[in-house]
C-alpha cells in the first residue's frame, strides 16, 4: 500500500519542470540527472545472456573461498563484514573496477554453507566501482550493505520486506519520463543501505554521512546499460529477490569488482 506519510506534495518530492524542488530528484539512484536519464546512458549496449540458474558462472576464474563454507569469490576481509545471522546474500560480481557490467547472484545459507539459488546479468555505475563513493562520480560503492526496504511505482508483487508503493515518488526520479528505455526502471526497487536510514522509503532524502557521499543507491530493473551508481538486474531477478528476501534472514548485498571482492 502507499506510504501514508508521504504524498506528492511532500517536501521529499521533486517535479521536473515544475515548481517544487525541495530536494533534487538527481540525488535518487546515485544522482540521476547528472546523466540526463534514470540511472543510465542509452548509448551503451546491453550485455547478452544471463538467465537464472543453479550453476556458478559468477565465480568462474575467481579464487577459492577464504574458508570452507565461505561465499564463492569473496575473500576473508569482505567475508568478515557479513553478520553471523545473515542467511541470504546478493553478491554482485563486477567484471572489472572500470566496467559497468557484472553478474548478480543470490545465495542462501544451508547449514554452514552458501548455496547459489539464482543468478542474473547485472549493471552497475557506468564508470565502474569505487571504495570511496562520492556524489556524481558515476561509480558504485564497493562494500557490504544490508537490505531492509523496498518499493516501487507498482504495487508489491509479494515480499516480506517493507514495501513503499508510490507511483509519484519514484517516477519523479526519472529525468525523462518520455524515454521508453527507462520507463520501468523503478517499477520495483530494493534500497541498498549505503548512506541512508534503515526503515524509511527508498526515496527518503536522509543522508547520514552527508550529501557529498551520495546516496539513493538501489537494486532495480535493468535498462541494458550502466547506471549512475545503482545495481540493476532483469525484471525476473528483481521479482525473485522481492519474493525471496526475508528480514528474518537479515539479507545483505556484497558488491564490487571481482578483484576487490576476493582481496
In this predicted model, what pLDDT tens digit does every residue of 198-216 receive, in sequence order?
999 999 989 999 999 999 9
Separation between Cα atoms, residue 79 and residue 64, nearest integer Å = 13
Predicted pLDDT of residue 78: 96
Predicted pLDDT of residue 175: 57
pLDDT at 146 over 50: yes
Question: 40-70, pLDDT tens digit by residue?
Answer: 333 333 333 333 443 444 444 333 333 346 9
Question: 156-190, pLDDT tens digit by residue?
Answer: 999 999 999 998 888 766 656 677 778 889 999 99
User: Strands (DSSP E) along 166-210, which ranges?
Assistant: 189-191
Q: Of 16-25, 45-54, 95-104, 188-197, give the lowest mean pLDDT range.
A: 16-25
Q: In terms of Cα–Cα distance, which of 79, 217, 72, 220 is closest to 135? A: 217
pLDDT at 26 over 50: no
* 192 neighbors 29 (Cβ within 8 angstroms): no
127 band by pLDDT with thresholds 50, 70 and 90: very high
Q: In terms of Cα–Cα distance, which of 104, 127, 252, 132 is closest to 192? A: 252
pLDDT at 103 over 90: yes
DSSP-derived 3-state class of residue 247: helix
Q: Of 4-13, 28-37, 62-71, give the lowest mean pLDDT range.
A: 4-13
User: Strands (DSSP E) along the chain, which ranges?
Assistant: 88-94, 101-110, 113-123, 129-130, 140-141, 143-146, 150-152, 163-165, 189-191, 218-221, 231-233, 252-257
Predicted pLDDT of residue 239: 98
Separation between Cα atoms, residue 13 and residue 18, nearest integer Å = 11
pLDDT at 222 over 80: yes
In terms of DSSP H, where are the helices of 74-214? 76-79
Phi, psi at residue 119, to the nearest 5°? -150, 155
How many alpha carbons lie under 13 Å from residue 177 in its C-beta half-sphere? 12
pLDDT at 2 over 70: no
Question: What is the CATH code of the structural domain delimited by 77-262?
Answer: 2.40.440.10
Percent of the chain with pLDDT over 90: 66
Phi, psi at residue 89, to the nearest 5°? -135, 135
Amino acid at each position: 500500500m502507499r506510504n501514508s506519510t508521504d504524498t506528492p506534495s511532500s517536501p521529499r518530492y521533486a517535479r521536473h519542470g515544475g515548481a517544487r524542488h525541495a530536494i533534487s530528484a538527481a540525488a535518487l539512484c546515485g544522482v540521476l540527472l547528472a546523466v540526463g536519464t534514470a540511472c543510465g546512458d542509452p548509448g551503451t549496449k546491453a550485455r547478452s545472456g544471463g538467465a537464472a540458474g543453479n550453476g556458478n558462472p559468477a565465480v568462474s576464474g575467481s579464487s577459492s573461498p577464504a574458508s570452507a563454507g565461505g561465499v564463492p569469490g569473496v575473500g576473508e576481509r569482505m567475508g568478515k563484514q557479513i553478520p553471523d545471522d545473515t542467511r541470504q546474500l546478493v553478491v554482485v560480481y563486477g567484471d572489472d573496477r572500470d566496467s559497468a557490467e557484472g553478474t548478480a547472484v543470490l545465495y542462501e545459507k544451508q547449514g554452514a554453507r552458501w548455496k547459489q539459488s539464482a543468478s542474473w546479468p547485472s549493471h552497475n555505475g557506468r564508470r565502474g566501482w569505487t571504495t570511496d563513493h562520492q556524489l556524481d562520480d558515476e561509480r558504485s560503492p564497493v562494500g557490504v550493505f544490508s537490505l531492509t526496504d523496498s518499493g516501487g511505482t507498482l504495487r508489491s508483487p509479494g515480499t516480506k520486506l517493507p514495501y513503499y508503493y508510490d507511483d509519484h515518488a519514484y517516477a519523479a526520479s526519472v529525468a525523462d519520463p518520455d524515454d521508453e528505455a527507462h520507463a520501468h526502471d523503478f517499477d520495483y526497487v530494493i534500497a541498498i543501505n549505503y548512506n541512508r536510514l534503515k526503515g524509511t522509503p527508498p526515496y527518503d532524502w536522509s543522508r547520514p554521512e552527508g550529501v557529498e557521499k551520495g546516496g539513493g543507491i538501489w537494486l532495480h530493473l535493468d535498462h541494458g546499460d550502466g547506471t549512475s551508481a545503482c545495481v540493476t538486474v532483469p525484471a525476473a531477478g528483481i521479482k525473485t529477490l522481492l519474493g525471496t528476501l526475508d528480514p528474518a534472514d537479515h539479507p545483505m548485498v556484497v558488491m564490487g569488482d571481482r578483484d576487490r571482492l576476493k582481496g
